[in-house]
Amino acid sequence: MNIKDVLKGDVSGLAIGVGFALLAPVVLPVLGSVARPILKTAVKGFLVLSDSARSLVAEVGEEVGDIVAEARAEHDGGSANIIRPVE
């Protein structure tokens, strides 16, 4: 768009831009005050989910560690509970 187009009457884009520039100082703080609590709640929810996932992973890790320790003890001790393939 050049100045000739503006002078010919094609001012819709310019009017929208000027209108937004005039309203931005009023609208943006209101949007920010509404969006902040919503975003804060979302972050809290993520933290709760993250803590739950961390606990679950820790429990699974402990369980796998116990299974590995039992298997190693049985293997090292020559236990008769070794699974053998069926022939």
- Average pLDDT of the residues in 45-62: 94
Q: In which band, very low, low, confident or very high, does the pLDDT at 19 lie, cut at 50, 70 and 90?
A: confident
Give CA–CA dist 65/79, Å, rounded: 19
Average of per-residue pLDDT values in the chain: 81
Q: In which band, very low, low, confident or very high, does the pLDDT at 24 lie, cut at 50, 70 and 90?
A: confident
Better-predicted residue by pLDDT, 43 or 32? 43
- Average pLDDT of the residues in 12-32: 82
Residue 77 has pLDDT above 70, yes or no: yes
What are the two backbone dihedrals, phi and then psi, of residue 60, each rounded to the nearest 5 degrees? -65, -40
Give CA–CA dist 60/66, Å, rounded: 10
- The pTM of this model reads 0.48
CB 82 within 8 A of CB 74: yes
Alpha helices in 2-11 (DSSP H): 3-8
Q: Which two tokens stand for residue 53?
A: 């996932």
Q: Which of 8-17, 24-33, 59-68, 71-80 has the highest mean pLDDT?
A: 59-68
